[in-house]
A and B are shown apart, each in its own frame.
Chain A
Amino acid sequence: MYADICGLLNIQYPIIQGAMAWISDPSLVSAVSEAGGLGVLATGHLDAEGCVKAIKEIRERTDKPFAVNIMLLSQFADEIVKAVCEQKVPVVTTGAGSPGKYIQMFKESGTKVLPVAPSVAIAKRMEKDGADAVIAEGCESGGHVGKITTMALVPQVVDALNIPVIAAGGIADGRGMAAARMLGASGFQIGTRFLVAKECTVHQNYKDRIIKAKDIDTTTTGASTGHPVRVIRNKLARKFEELEKNNAPAEELDKLGRGALRRAVVEGDIENGSVMSGQIAGLVNKEQTAEEIIKELYGQYKEVMKNTAV
């Protein structure tokens, strides 16, 4: 039932750092990969040139495998895929659509493909399209989310597919990993916990806000546009809620959202910027190096698995 994700991706621990736009840059990615997990570069805010530069920077810092996340809705998706294949990046994760039309290119460059899927039907589609494994992501995640919780989604995806399933959404410690394992997941994608890694270059205000967050501090905005996003409920999020309650047109919501993530990540404006975060932020309460995080996660996971008996 369980697949060997470490063997598939040539990594030491079955821990994948979730891609976070503007946040998971070469510094964080190389630190996670160097520590034995799989660092994932976010490219949603990059063009192909910026992507190649980042890939080279990662390779200067580590010779371990890493991944590039490709937002398939990005206007630069075609050229980024081409660049990723030319650079022979070992793994890609994909979001916002199906990587089907690129699968042949990825196979030729030896790149493993891990699409993110928020439902069984989408996961099945990804398997048919030739994915190597699927990341089943529940709506506890930060950023763009689906509608189904990790607890409900993962076992249903596991039952529907013949390829390995990686669980994502709501995992920030070894207990979460063990729970996901029980649901049939072979690997774990973790975002929010890595956001506060010492090597993560996000603005300190953003990190402090995550560390301070309680269980009820996130909300989803933008459901009316068909693309809900999980964020910390700040001034910006409340403005969104107000507009949506009054059925404001999509253009007005788009306008409010434009540049908002950069405002929080780069400028540290955590009230008027978009502070994307998973629901598990309440469990994340200290800055550590990526290596410390991975060792602690895996140690606790092994401990929980060992002590679990009915």
Chain B
Amino acid sequence: MFERIREIIADQTGKDADEITMDTNVKTDLEADSLDLFQIINDIEDEFDIKIENVEGIETVGDVVKLVEESKK
């Protein structure tokens, strides 16, 4: 799952997937603005057929992964 999330994030932010780890900060390291972030969330929701809550608190890629795991329960 992390692999697929990483691909989606890399695709939207124009970074190499290899550079992205759980600790990567979405805003400062990947320079994603709120438009990018919502696009990433939207694409992940479509990919895994889930709805992610509490998007506002996202800082790192790890936070995104955690929210996806919680949403799948």
Interfacial chain A residues near B71, Cβ < 8 Å: none
Q: Which of A98, A119, A124, A146 contacts B55 (CB 8 A)?
A: A98
Contacts of B45 in A (CB 8 A): 128
Q: Which residues in chain B, 15-49, are within 8 Å of chain A measured between CB atoms?
A: 27, 33-35, 38-39, 41-43, 45
Let me know if A121 and B41 touch, CB within 8 A: yes
Q: Which of chain B's residues have a CB closer than 8 A to the CB of A124?
A: 42
Q: Name which residue of chain B comes closest to A225, CB basis.
A: B33
From B27, B38, B51, B53, give the contact of A122 (CB < 8 A): B38
Contact A128 B35 (CB under 8 A): no
Give A124 to B35 CA distance when docked, in angstroms. Answer: 12
Closest B residue to A96 by beta carbon equals B34
| Contacting pair B53 A100 (CB below 8 A) | yes
CA distance A172 to B61 in the complex (A): 42
Q: Is A7 an interface residue (CB 8 A)?
A: no
Residues of A within 8 A of B55 (CB): 98, 125
Cβ A119 vs Cβ B35 within 8 A: yes
| Complex: A120 Cα to B35 Cα, angstroms | 9
Instruction: Verify A118–B35 contact, CB threshold 8 A.
Output: yes
Q: Mark A241-261, 1 if CB is under 8 A from B, else 0.
A: 000000000000000000000
Within the complex, the shortest CB–CB distance from A228 to chain B, in Å, comes to 9
Chain B residues with CB below 8 A from A147, complex form: 35
Q: Complex: how many Å from CA A121 to CA B34?
A: 10
Which chain A residues border B43 with CB–CB below 8 Å?
A: 121
B41 neighbours in A (Cβ, 8 Å): 121, 125
Task: State the interface size on chain B (CB cutoff 8 A).
Answer: 14
**CB contact under 8 A between A128 and B51, given known A97-B56, A226-B33, A226-B34:** yes
Q: A100 contacts which chain B residues (CB < 8 A)?
A: 53
Kindly provide the distance from the CB of B42 to the nearest chain A CB, expressed in whole angstroms: 4
Contact B42 A125 (CB under 8 A): yes
- Give the CA-CA distance A118 to B53 in the complex, in Å: 20
Instruction: Give chain B nearest CB distance to A205 CB in angstroms.
Output: 33
A147 to B45, CA, bound (A): 23
| Chain B minimum-CB-distance residue to A121 | B42
B40 to chain A, nearest CB (A): 8
For residue A118, which residues in chain B have a CB less than 8 angstroms away from its CB?
35
B-contact bits for A41-67, CB 8 A (1 contact / 0 none): 000000000000000000000000000
CB distance from A152 to the nearest CB of B (A): 13
A121/B35 in contact, CB under 8 A? yes
Taking CB atoms, residues of chain B closer than 8 Å to A121 are 35, 38-39, 41-43
> Would you call A146 and B53 a contact (CB within 8 A)?
no
Among residues 215 to 239 in chain A, which have CB atoms less than 8 Å away from a CB atom of chain B?
A: 226
Query: B27's closest neighbor in chain A, by CB?
Result: A226
Assembled-state Cα–Cα distance A146/B43 (Å) = 19
For the complex, what is the distance from the CA of A226 to the CA of B33, rounded to whole Å? 6
Q: Give Cα distance in the complex from A128 to B52, angstroms.
A: 10
Q: Which of A177-232 contact B (CB under 8 A)?
A: 226
Q: Are B35 and A122 in contact (CB under 8 A)?
A: yes
A128 cross-chain contacts in B, Cβ below 8 A: 45, 51
Please give the distance in Å from B38's CB to the nearest CB on chain A. Answer: 4
Known: A98-B55, A122-B35. 7 other contacts (CB 8 A): A119-B38, A120-B42, A121-B38, A122-B38, A125-B42, A125-B55, A226-B33
Q: Would you give 6 A-B contacts (Cβ < 8 Å), ordered by A?
A: A98-B56, A119-B39, A121-B41, A128-B45, A128-B51, A226-B34
Q: B residues near A, CB below 8 A? A: 27, 33-35, 38-39, 41-43, 45, 51, 53, 55-56
